[in-house]
Chains A and B, each alone.
Chain A
Amino acid sequence: MIQLENVTKTYPKASRPSLDNVSVGIEKGEFVFFIGPSGSGKSTIVKLLLKEVQATTGKVVVNAKDVTSLRAWKVPHFRRSIGCVFQDFRLLPNRTAYENVAFALEVIGKTKAVARRVVPEVLELVGLGGKEHRYPNELSGGEQQRVAVARAFVNRPLILLADEPTGNLDPDTSVEIMRLLDRINRTGTTVVMVTHDSNIVNQMRRRVIEIESGRIVRDQARGVYG
């Protein structure tokens, strides 16, 4: 599903590479944590997978597509197969929960009729049934993140990328979000999560890949934070 082969990423003006000759493979349906201190390069992996940045050397393959050689104009269509969740939710403040999710469908060309059918379903799935017409500022942090997860998942992506999704949430709410991601993982979606929340990693007992100074220092099948 995801293959990094000898990937090195050096940002312009940086003295040392953010990722240094990293190779890793992730199978379909896996749930993987990338952990490591700030600046270790774990967020760079997310950006590489989305082709927000280009690898300096090496090869990145996502969904059997070679991302490194993907033409710029094909990137939007490629991104439709990847859902994204971030620490800061990235919701549109002037749209309701329903509209935020529907927006993601409409801008990739789905009709309003499709949105009317699919959006309530996915909002129900993330546990926001009955709160469709609330604006983000009328929702709690956990609820906002649920909207973000619903938006990432509504298009039924093959991969869900979560970049510190619990970074702004209290421990209890974080656990709820993790349950939600787990449920999504059980539908067959590959989940890649970048985090430094040790509690969550320890509770989930999933594959853990630890990165330090741009190198993989640990790759453990049912790991803990360490």
Chain B
Amino acid sequence: MRVKYVLNEVLVGLWRNVTMTIAMIITMSVSLFMLGASVLLYMQVDQMKDYYYGNIQVSVFLTDDVTEPQKAAIDQAIKGSGLIASQEYESKEDALERFKKLWADSPDFVDAIGADSLPESYRVKLTDPEKYDQFSQAIEGLPGIRQVIDQRELLEKVFEIFNAIQLGALGVAIFMAFAALLLVGNTIQVAAYSKRREVAVMKLVGASNWFIQAPFVLEAVVAGIVGAVLGFIILFVGKVVMLDNKLQALTTILTPIPNGNVWLMLPLLAVVGSLVSAITAWITLRFYLKV
């Protein structure tokens, strides 16, 4: 009986104030969508870091007029640095092979390049990619070295962009969440006002506090969950349409987003949405329904 009563009150409450309910659900869904996107991106960047950092190398390019003793000295310095996991010497011919593979789509371009125009190099994998500075200090300035390039630095720039996007999404999510909170608070105020007579009688005859508050809090929770489901749908559709079709090129840098991760957003958004609404509603009630 009481459960039926409470549920009925919730539905009537949401319907009585339907425009506000819709506004609340929409802001909630946009906010939660942004939150979901941000969390997904965060997980993605993490996964990409693991993936790329495992594969990156430091390239030590040599000058064209490098002599054999100089090479031997560089080789010694690299080995002696104590920071490397593996190293590989790449001759001009090897470099050309690799170049051909990389640009296989543009044979004209490849034909124009001879082995002589590509530098010899050492390809070094560090045990800890973070220790690049130490490594570069150890070998920099040796005769015969033209340039030391850390792939990590390039990647870091890419990750910086992703991090910026992720933070941006999180910022928008928080901003929208603020609007959503105000709407929840307002909706609850209106609901409490329109039921003020019932509430007064309930207090008078000694209805328990939870019984008085439950319909209001549940109203907000239902709106929060509907908003979360809507936000999840936007996220899912967005992932399929944008990443799987239109922006597929991006996914060559972006490691593919597993569907499992996307599904994981549904419970996350639902929990965040309903919890935030419930707490807001409850706090609002403390001010407007003094028991």
Cross-chain contact B197 with A107 (CB below 8 angstroms):
no
Q: Which residues of A contact B197 (CB under 8 A)?
A: 90, 92-93
Which chain B residues border A73 with CB–CB below 8 Å? 209
With A111-B1, A112-B1 as contacts: A76 and B200 at CB distance below 8 Å? no
Q: How far is the CB of B118 from chain A (nearest CB, A)?
A: 79
- Contact assessment for B206 and A79 in the assembled complex, using a CB-CB cutoff below 8 Å: yes
Q: How large is the interface on B (under 10, 10 to 19, 20 to 34, 35 or more residues)?
A: 10 to 19
The DSSP consensus for interface residues of chain A is: helix
Is the CB of B164 closer than 8 A to any CB of chain A? no
> Once the chains bind, are A109 and B2 in contact (CB under 8 Å)?
yes
* CB pair B205 A151 closer than 8 Å: yes
Does B211 sit within 8 A of A, measured CB to CB?
yes
A104 located at the interface, meaning its Cβ lies under 8 Å from any Cβ of chain B in the complex: yes
Q: Which residue of B lies closest to A52 (CB)?
A: B203
Tell me, in angstroms, the Cα distance from A93 to B195 when the chains sit together.
12
* Alpha-carbon separation in the docked complex, A154 to B208 (Å): 18
Please measure, in the bound complex, the distance between the C-alpha atom of A107 and the C-alpha atom of B208, giving whole angstroms. 8
Q: Are A76 and B198 in contact (CB under 8 A)?
A: no
**Residue B202 lies at the interface, judged by CB distance under 8 Å to chain A:** yes
B5 contacts chain A at the CB level, 8 A cutoff? yes
Task: Report A-chain residues with C-beta under 8 Å of the C-beta of B249.
Answer: none
21 A-B pairs whose Cβ atoms sit less than 8 Å apart in the complex: A75-B291, A76-B203, A76-B207, A76-B291, A78-B206, A79-B204, A79-B205, A80-B205, A92-B198, A92-B201, A103-B198, A104-B201, A104-B205, A106-B1, A107-B205, A108-B206, A109-B208, A112-B1, A151-B201, A151-B205, A155-B205
Q: Which residues of A contact B (CB under 8 A)?
A: 72-73, 75-80, 84, 90, 92-93, 103-104, 106-109, 111-112, 151, 155
